[in-house]
């Protein structure tokens, strides 16, 4: 952990206004000042990513698999594939922020991976040349995609029947969630969406129900995590891990 790096990230997250005429410009503007420090800070902020990858890999027959990591940023998730990465057919790291994809391109080049490509593109629209894919992941990107329902619908369209979607992200519960899901306090449901909205992150009560409606749920976990530098360590942020199957 580097204090200077953290301060740079915190300045970008808490003080510097995000500028841009459209979503792509805003993403590029937000990340351009923190791309180099991104991985170190987000390792502590964005929990559950490695667990999602482990669960996905245990479930997806990854030999020759085509996998899209939507909003894949710096490509740090690629390390969670471990040695399996060599056996995957193709992995696409799709993101709107060119500054983060530059970090991903360096990582791919230095690791010598030949089957990984980055695409500067919108996760609600991007279709790889294979036409359909076996797996789609969103790690902490759905909350940053304004048309998140379009992103989920697009993932459904581009997945082959039987393909898997994996999502890990922040959320808050509905006031009256499904009986088998957790209910969060009024304070959590009110405070966290306001807090995160400053950075154009929108934790929603609707992602979890929509994912359960659209896909056959295979795995679902709900957790709480500390936010680095947040003054009250007991007031934690909810996040979930979901894996679903596109039904045949
Ligand atoms: C919090 S970051 C998460 C990055 C990465 N998945 C991770 O786990 O470190 C959210 C990412 O979503 C990307 N993003 C937001 N909206 C997008 C869109 N419509 N299409 C593609 N990427 C998008 C942002 O540029 C950013 O890289």
pLDDT digits (tens, 9 = 90+) for 150-187: 999 999 999 999 999 999 999 999 999 999 999 999 99
Cβ-contact 123, 70 below 8 angstroms: yes
pLDDT at 6: 64
42 CB within 6 A, ligand 1: yes
Structural domains of the chain, ranges and CATH numbers in brackets: 3-245 (3.40.50.150)
pLDDT at 1: 62
Residues in contact with 77: Cβ distance below 8 Å, sequence separation at least 6, in sequence order: 49, 53, 69, 137, 139
139 CB within 6 A, ligand 1: yes
122 CB within 6 A, ligand 1: yes
In the predicted structure, residue 144 carries a pLDDT above the cut 70 = yes
- Predicted TM-score (pTM) above 0.85: yes
Tell me what the mean pLDDT of segment 189-216 comes to: 96
Mutating to test ligand 1, I would choose from 48, 53, 144 the residue with most ligand atoms within 8 A of its C-beta, which is 144
pLDDT at 10: 65
Residue 80 CB neighbours (<10 A): 19
Cα dist from 238 to 70, 171, 188, 233, whole Å? 21, 6, 8, 13
pLDDT at 11: 64
141 CB within 6 A, ligand 1: yes
Cβ-contact 156, 246 below 8 angstroms: yes
- pLDDT one-digit tens code per residue, 17-62: 788 888 888 888 887 776 677 677 777 789 999 999 999 999 877 6
Cα 144 to middle of ligand 1, angstroms: 6
- When the pLDDT of each residue in the chain is averaged and rounded to a whole number, the result is 92
pLDDT at 9: 64
Residue 177 CA to residue 44 CA, distance in Å, equals: 28
């Amino acid at each position: 952990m580097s204090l200077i790096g953290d301060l740079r990230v915190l300045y970008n997250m808490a003080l510097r206004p995000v500028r841009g005429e459209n979503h792509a410009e805003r993403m590029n503007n937000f990340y351009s000042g923190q791309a180099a420090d991104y991985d170190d800070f987000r390792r502590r902020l964005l929990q559950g990513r490695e667990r999602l990858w482990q669960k996905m890999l245990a479930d997806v027959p990854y030999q020759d698999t085509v996998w899209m990591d939507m909003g894949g940023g710096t490509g740090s998730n690629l390390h969670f594939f471990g040695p399996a990465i060599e056996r995957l057919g193709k992995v696409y790291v799709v993101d709107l922020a060119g500054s983060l994809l530059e970090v991903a391109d360096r990582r791919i080049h230095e690791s010598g991976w030949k089957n990984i490509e980055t695409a500067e593109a919108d996760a609600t629209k991007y279709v790889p040349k294979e036409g359909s894919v076996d797996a789609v992941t969103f790690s902490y990107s759905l909350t940053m995609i304004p048309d998140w329902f379009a992103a989920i619908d697009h993932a459904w369209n581009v997945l082959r029947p039987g393909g898997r979607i994996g999502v890990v992200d922040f959320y808050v519960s509905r006031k009256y969630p499904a009986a088998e899901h957790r209910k969060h306090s009024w304070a959590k449901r009110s405070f966290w969406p306001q807090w995160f909205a400053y950075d154009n992150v929108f934790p929603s009560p609707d992602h979890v129900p929509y994912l359960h409606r659209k896909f056959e749920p295979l795995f679902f976990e709900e957790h709480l995590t500390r936010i680095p530098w947040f003054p009250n360590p007991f007031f934690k942020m909810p996040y979930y891990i979901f894996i679903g199957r596109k039904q045949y």
